[in-house]
A and B are shown apart, each in its own frame.
Chain A
Amino acid sequence: MKVDIAACITEPGSSERNKTGGWRVFKPVVHQERCIDCGSCWIFCPEACISRNEAGEYVVDLDFCKGCGICANECPTEAIEMVLEEK
């Protein structure tokens, strides 16, 4: 691959190709019935990998979630549980 001048990255969003979810040991599991829709997990996720699906539920993009557990820690109703991931 040719390096662009000054190592410029000319393709927007190309970092998405670098899937970083593999770093994870624990994964967050959202118990939707306990969710009060406060949005704290969405706000606090440092990877911005929590989004809402069409049903309005908060879901985690496991391609990029590194399992840091901040979402679980911030959730006021303990609706997010960190579960040891089997690989």
Chain B
Amino acid sequence: MPHRDVMHGSRAVAEAVKLCDVKVIAAYPITPQTHIVEDIAEMLANGEFDAEYIMVESEHSAMSACIGASATGARTFTATASQGLALMHEVLWIASGMRLPIVMVNANRALSAPINIWNDQSDSIAERDSGWVQLYVETCQEALDSVIQAYRIAEHQDVLLPVMVCMDGFVLTHTVEPVEVPDKEQVRRYLPELRLPHALDPEHPVTMGSLGDPNYYMECRKQQEIAMEHALRVAEEADEEFRRVFGRGYGILEEYNMQDAEVVLVTMGSVAGTIKETIDMLGSDVGLLRLRMFRPFPKEAVRRALRNAKVVNVIEKDVSMGFGEGALMTELKSVLYGSDIRILGTVAGLGGRDITTEHVRQAIERAERALRGERVEEVAWAGLKEEAL
């Protein structure tokens, strides 16, 4: 039976890993790690489920161990954050290039220097081109559910790509809130056993990770891009099926208060909750578009959702230095190229700076001023201490 409980976001993820019958977990259990892998280790020690737990000496090794394990056709999991994800960088590309359906939770945290352990999304945004599917979640419940969905997406025969579930570090990982833990049998039915067509098998030997010279490398990359296109459809189907089985779903993007909204805020992750609360508090007719899927980018769905919008303000926890705006804003401009929609950006919450309802109100106000034809800043940094610059 599914049961409602109250727990940390990290624990919710560990519960998902247990429910998914993950066979191999590799982790580097030192900062910047979360208690996700700690909770999994405890569950294994208590005999709550059976898996190989590999303690490695770095995140680079953690992902390498996941690649080896996944190549044998075993369902594989790891979790990391910030510098840990950065240290994995080169191996991320190997996981996706070898088409291994590894699922990883990244607790979104800022990158050093200066040293900062707090939340923002610069770490995973920096890995957007690494060939991983990326989902961004709003709540601890969605983190749990998305891990289950992630395996279904990753392991689909038309996809076979790794999936990164991004949850805001601390803001979700360290928050206690109510979570419904699904029934194991239902998860088993939702998630068939992994069948990796190119798995290592002594009966049918294959060479993996071989040379792809200039004659073939481009074809491999194009195959990955085609798999990414499939992932869009597969993710939508996986979410619909999830809703059918478990009674809740999220879509690949979420539209809030969007009917006839001329001003729309766009964001990813947990700050969507604060934005919804602010919209309701103000009784505002501003809409919110929350992207749950960032890779593959749901271009058509975004265009459809924003068809009536006149001004968009992208609130995001990352910035592309030297380009003066966040990655999501840039990508939205690309997706909406040729339309008349005015696109503004708000860089917010870097390095754990709290994003308040007041910051959201200011972002709404700036967009509304733009709608009235007033001159406004194209990109604003929410809550920036100008006097400290």
The short answer to whether A and B are in direct contact, CB under 8 Å, is yes
Complex formed: what's the CA distance from A20 to B354 in Å? 63
B220 on the A face (CB < 8 A): yes
The answer to whether B208 and A8 touch across the interface, beta carbons within 8 angstroms, is yes
A12 on the B face (CB < 8 A): yes
The answer to whether B206 and A8 touch across the interface, beta carbons within 8 angstroms, is yes
B247 on the A face (CB < 8 A): no
Question: Hey, which chain B residues are within 8 Å of A8, CB to CB?
Answer: 198, 206-208, 210
Complex formed: what's the CA distance from A4 to B208 in Å? 10
A55 on the B face (CB < 8 A): no
Interface range for A: under 10
Instruction: List the B residue with the shortest CB-CB distance to A15.
Output: B207
Give a binary string over B205-223; 1 marks a CB under 8 Å from any A CB, 0 the rest.
Answer: 1111111100010011001
Give a binary string over A1-42; 1 marks a CB under 8 Å from any B CB, 0 the rest.
Answer: 001111111101000000000000000000000000000000
Contact for A7 among B160, B204, B205, B210, CB less than 8 A: B210
Instruction: List the A residue with the shortest CB-CB distance to B200.
Output: A8
The answer to whether B160 and A5 touch across the interface, beta carbons within 8 angstroms, is yes
Task: Summarize A's interface: helix, strand, loop or mixed.
Answer: loop
B60 on the A face (CB < 8 A): no
Complex formed: what's the CA distance from A8 to B99 in Å? 10
Complex formed: what's the CA distance from A12 to B200 in Å? 12
The answer to whether B197 and A7 touch across the interface, beta carbons within 8 angstroms, is no
The answer to whether B97 and A6 touch across the interface, beta carbons within 8 angstroms, is yes
Residue total for B at the interface (Cβ-Cβ under 8 A): 19
Question: Hey, which chain B residues are within 8 Å of A9, CB to CB?
Answer: 206-207, 210
Contact for B205 among A3, A4, A6, A12, CB less than 8 A: A12
B98 on the A face (CB < 8 A): yes
Instruction: Tell me how far the C-beta of A33 lies from the nearest C-beta in chain B, rounded to whole angstroms.
Output: 41
The answer to whether B216 and A7 touch across the interface, beta carbons within 8 angstroms, is yes
Interface set, chain B 188-204, CB cutoff 8 A to A: 197-198, 204
Question: Hey, which chain B residues are within 8 Å of A4, CB to CB?
Answer: 198
Instruction: Tell me how far the C-beta of A2 lies from the nearest C-beta in chain B, rounded to whole angstroms.
Output: 9
Instruction: Tell me how far the C-beta of A18 lies from the nearest C-beta in chain B, rounded to whole angstroms.
Output: 12
Question: Hey, which chain A residues are within 8 Å of B97, CB to CB?
Answer: 6
The answer to whether A6 and B219 touch across the interface, beta carbons within 8 angstroms, is no
The answer to whether A3 and B219 touch across the interface, beta carbons within 8 angstroms, is yes
Question: Hey, which chain A residues are within 8 Å of B98, CB to CB?
Answer: 6
Complex formed: what's the CA distance from A5 to B219 in Å? 10
Supplied contacts A5-B99, A5-B160, A9-B210, 4 more A-B pairs, CB within 8 Å:
A3-B212, A3-B219, A6-B98, A8-B198
The 4 closest A-B pairs by CB, nearest first: A9-B207, A6-B99, A7-B212, A12-B205
Binding site for A on B (CB under 8 A): 97-99, 160, 197-198, 204-212, 216, 219-220, 223
